Every structure is written in C-alpha cells, then in structure tokens.
Structure 1
Amino acid sequence: MALQKRFQVSHGDVFPMGAFMKGSVEPVSDFDVPVRPDGSRPQQVDKDSGLPLWQVTVLDADDQASRRDTAVSVKIAAQFQPVPPDNTSGTPWRPVEFVGLTALAYVDDSGSRPRVAWSFRADNLVAPGEAKKAATTSAGSASSGPRAA
C-alpha cells in the first residue's frame, strides 16, 4: 500500500532533539499563477482549506541529521500570519514546537541522484511544551464551532 496523502506525525518524531525557528514567518509565493501588474506574486493558498500558506525555516537540532536536512521548511495554513513564541533561549534562533504536524514524502530529483524528501505542514507553532495545551484548545474550539486561525 502506498501513502499518497499527508499523514499525521508528532513533533518529537520529526524533531527529536528540538527545532529552532530561523528568521521570521513568511508568506509562500504562488509561482503557478501570473505575476501581478506591480510585479509581486500572490500568496499561495492551501488546496484543502483555502487558507493562505505561510512558511518558517526550522533548524533541526539533531546532530544525526544530514547536512541537507539540517534546515527544513514547514508550511502553516492560517488566515492570518502566525505569531511565533517569544525567544527566551539566549540564541538567535527561537525554540518552537509544531501543532498538528503532517508529512508528505516526495522524490527530490534536483541533485545528482534522486532521493526521498519530506514536505511538512503544521496547524500552528508554539513554545516547546505548549503543543498539548494548544491541541486541547483547538479540539475544544472545534466542537463548539468554527476555529479562529
């Protein structure tokens, strides 16, 4: 059986030694649509939810991660730009944890030989240890009506 859709993964399975956000939350440009008259590109939207896509660059703190996999991009579908947690680490990189993380495998044939690569999406990003609280809040909100993003 082949998995052809995204599947749920835990933050700890993908980032067992932690993840650090580098830079800021940025809109994902849509390269499949024409450029606007002013030369800018529209923001890409999630095909399932219709929400705008945002992305963050994440440094994987796992020493066993390959050089190519040390920095990965995680996309977040949200109506408004997600606000990252405060940086209390004393480093330039902000420790984060992802809520509702999903993965999709694909073949990356841009190098000298093809390899399996991963595309990650999340519902939100929070401070480490806050994901369970955020997931409980989201589950409670989902049962009581539409969820604010």
Structure 2
Amino acid sequence: MAIQGPFTIDCKTLFPLGCGVVSAVTPINDFERSTRENPVQSRDRETGLPMWSVDVIDFDPDARERTFKVKIAAEVQPIPPEAVSGVPVRPVYLEGLQMTPYIKEGGIRPKIAYSLRCSGLSAPKNAPVAKPDGGRTESGRAA
C-alpha cells in the first residue's frame, strides 16, 4: 500500500526553532483561467477555497533550505500576526500544516523537496521572549 496525498505535521515539529513571515500574503493566480486583463484566483481542488501564498523563513541557522513558499486555502486573505518589536520578521505559527514530498528536477541530480500548505496563520504559542538577564529566553537558551 502506497501512502498518498499530503502528510499532516505540526508547525513546531517541522520548524522546532520557529518560522517567520518574510513576504506579503498574495493570491495565487489560476494560470489556465487567467488572462493578462482578467486574473482569476486559483481555488483548492478539495475545498473550493481561494488559494493564497506567503514566504516564510526557518529560524534554524543550520537549516539546508531557509525560505519556503507556503500555500494557504482560506476564504479571506490571511493576515500575518502582529510584528514583534526588535525582530526583523514576524514570527508565525502555520495552522493545519501539511507537507507533500515531490522530486525536484534540476542541478546535477534530482532531490526530494516538499511543498507546504496550511489553513491559516497565527501568532506562535509559547514563543520565547527575550529577557534582559544576559539574553536568555524563557526556555533557558541563549537568544
């Protein structure tokens, strides 16, 4: 039996150090139905909801891939969480996160890559907060 379709994964499992929004949330155009004069927004095949896109960055400094494009199926344009003072990107939690592996062609040889999609954006739960005591966070790690 082959496993089909996307895998559901918690945002904290995929991004243990967190992730942040680095672009605006934009509609994804349906290239088959759109024209130059009349862009048509793509819809999710399963739910029929409009599709949106946002770029996020992995906060892990050792991550091989740092930036990801995440597709969002939502009735209205998702709004990223409020900016955090002193942080150049907006920390985000990807609600209802799913990943789909695929073969990425190009380069010397093909490699496994992942497409990401979610159902919404929210502020991270229990996000570490920088403390004035030597840059330590609530988790005890250096900031």
1:23 is paired with a residue whose SS is coil
- Inter-partner Cα distance in structure 2 for 1:87 and 1:100: 22
TM-score (norm. length: structure 1) = 0.78
Change (3 A) 1:34 1:45: closer
> How large is the RMSD of aligned CA atoms in angstroms?
1.6
| Aligned position for 2:45 | 47
Change (3 A) 1:115 1:127: same
Number of residue pairs matched? 126
1:104 is paired with a residue whose SS is strand
List aligned pairs for 1:56-135, cutoff 5 A.
Answer: 56-66=54-64, 69-129=65-125
Percent identity among equivalent residues? 39
* Structure 2 gap segments, 5+ residues each: 127-143
- State the Cα deviation string for residues 27-83 of structure 1 (Å, max 9, x = none): 11222x143261x532111110011100110000112211xx100011110111001
Larger Rg computed on CA atoms: 2
The structure with more helix, counted as a fraction of residues: 1
- Inter-partner Cα distance in structure 2 for 1:110 and 1:42: 30
Q: Give 4+ residue runs of structure 1 displaced > 3 Å after superposition.
A: none
- Inter-partner Cα distance in structure 2 for 1:98 and 1:119: 14
Q: CA deviation at 1:14?
A: 0.9
* Structure 1 gap segments, 5+ residues each: 131-149
